[in-house]
Amino acid sequence: MNSTLSRYFDIRSGTIAAVLMGSIVWWINADYGALAWKLRRSSDDNKQASTP
């Protein structure tokens, strides 16, 4: 019984850690995507402003 319980908690903590890592990675990717989109957008605006 004790081994089953400890195994269950190991799986559960592993799953929680995996979900946390996944969400952190997803947030970082989302932030980088938004940042890259803003940079690309501003560079496009600069090109349009420089062309007469």
| Phi (first) and psi of residue 51, to 5 degrees | -80, 130
Domain contains 9: no
Tens digits of per-residue pLDDT, 1-52? Answer: 678 888 888 889 999 999 999 999 988 888 888 888 888 888 887 777 766 5
- Output the pLDDT for position 22: 92
Residue 35 sits in which domain range? 22-52
Q: How many domains, the chain? A: 1
Domain contains 43: yes
- Output the pLDDT for position 51: 62
Domain contains 48: yes
| Residues with Cβ within 8 Å of residue 15, at least 6 apart in sequence | none
- Output the pLDDT for position 2: 77
